Amino acid sequence: MSRKLRIWYPGAIYHITARGNKRGALFYDDCDYLTYLHILEDVRFMYPFILHSYCLMTNHIHLQIETIDHHIQYIMKTLHSRYAVYLNRRFKTVGHQFQGRYGDELIESIDYFLEVSRYIHRNPLEANMVSRCEATPGAVILLILHLLITLTLILPTRIPSFLNRCISVTNPMWKINLKSGGISMTSKVTSIGLKGLEGYKVSVEVRTMQGSESFVIVGLPDASVKESKDRVTAALHGLGYTLVNQKVIINLSPAELKKTGPLYDLSMALAVLLSMKEITVRSPESTAFLGALSLDGGVRAVEGMLPAVLAAKKVGVEKVYMPFDEELPLFEIDGLQIVYVSSLDEVLQHLSGQNILPFFPQPREEEQDHMDYIDFEHIIGHSYAKRALEVAAAGEHHLFMTGPPGCGKSMLAESFPSILPPLTKDAQLEVMSLYQLSTSMSRYSSQPPFRQPHHSSSGVSIIGGGQHPRPGEISLAHRGVLFLDEIAEFTKKTLDMLRQPL
């Protein structure tokens, strides 16, 4: 005997019923109810529909669903098959969890729509789960709807849209609004990514859902970014937040750009807490969070902090939360507020409006007065060569010197930076950003940099690049001097690579 054909058309509204196999239980504890709601929300994203009312009893289910573009059979098949798999895995069983096919009654009138909604909301009362029907959220919804029908002219096609804003759970224990994200929602926190010295805004999007424990990071993360999941999990656990039975998905947008370094740890942790609704603070798009997390929840500085801060200003960020780095100078950037923090807990306190102790780092001794190279005025003679050096310094020209060995060419070249003007504050930050990206010793000085690579240096070490791209000697000499001694000894390939930069 063939089964009854289910009638469907776009916009069809159904009263769905389903019962446990052999009238057995479908929900054994709170975890089962939440898991069913989580699966229901996932299915709503796969096959969009409107849920007007629902009731989850111990051994049966009532759903009032309005379809949009997908047949009801796809919605219910996905929903109940996934929940059955969950129950079988949890209790190590096999076989059916639902008794027969689900029931579906087509709702084609406003009166029947209200009657079904009233019946669903009264279900807990009939089962003696509540003492008064008025205690359920559904009673309030029906009262408002009756008043609107009486006082205004409402088209039948608009009533479901109104009810959709008032999705609620009949059992007072389950006051979860699925329309606003329910037990799973997407949160967004801003951070900064680096592509060389240039930066771009990264939107850290996190979605947490009830289910098997997992922590997935997508958006072209490298190995250090993938390891963030363990640092974030440990840091949250140290603050009393747990990710048990949570499926966490993190997307680093834009997804087409490679993400490197642990710079996103702090923003990931905040986004996870926002998605789980553990905190209710606001995270404006104009506020960025930078820093790596330690296992105890502390925030640590990493390489690339300075170029990331400078990039934040360029992309329109107004406030940055970051750890203080002793290797970096104390600097102020017009239009950018920098909040120094030492732990994740301090960030949460500051965002929630609580005052944290102001940070007063020790001023760093500057290196401006220390001369690293020969002073130009100490060189006696060589008047023509010194005149050429002065002209080159004034006009920012390249200079080529020839002569017999031992005539003083190298000495004159090494004294050349001493007649260049001191670097401005902005120029100092640019130079220091390059040195930080190259992982070489931090350089904070008003003196122009002076680089002198050996003639056996490779083209990559001079130009930059490599498997993990780093600035080369020509970049480290930015706003300073690149001295190529014995230039004829450099390989032809290296000299050819210098054609365009020079």
CA pair distance 365, 68, nearest whole angstrom: 67
Is the model's pLDDT at 197 over the cut of 80?
no
CA pair distance 214, 243, nearest whole angstrom: 9
CA distances from 32 to 36, 66, 404 (A): 6, 24, 87
CA pair distance 335, 338, nearest whole angstrom: 10
Is the model's pLDDT at 360 over the cut of 70?
no
pLDDT at residue 15, as a whole number: 95
How do residues 43-52 score in pLDDT, each as one tens digit?
A: 988 888 998 8
Is the model's pLDDT at 94 over the cut of 80?
yes
When mean pLDDT is compared over 81-95, 160-174, 375-389, the highest value belongs to 81-95
pLDDT at residue 69, as a whole number: 87
How do residues 167-183 score in pLDDT, each as one tens digit?
A: 333 333 333 333 333 34
pLDDT at residue 368, as a whole number: 47
pLDDT at residue 145, as a whole number: 43
In degrees, rounded to 5, the angle at the alpha carbon of residue 86 between the alpha carbons of residues 218 and 49 is: 70
Q: Mean pLDDT, the chain, as a whole number? A: 80
Is the model's pLDDT at 331 over the cut of 70?
no
Structure pTM? 0.56
Using an 8 Å Cβ cutoff, are 455 and 489 in contact? yes
Q: Is the dihedral of CA 388, 389, 392, 394 positive or negative?
A: negative
What domains can be seen in the chain, in order of their start residue?
13-164 (3.30.70.1290), 186-351 (3.30.230.10), 376-497 (3.40.50.300)
Is the model's pLDDT at 142 over the cut of 80?
no
Is the model's pLDDT at 106 over the cut of 90?
yes
Closest by alpha carbon to 136, among 170, 102, 85, 87? 170
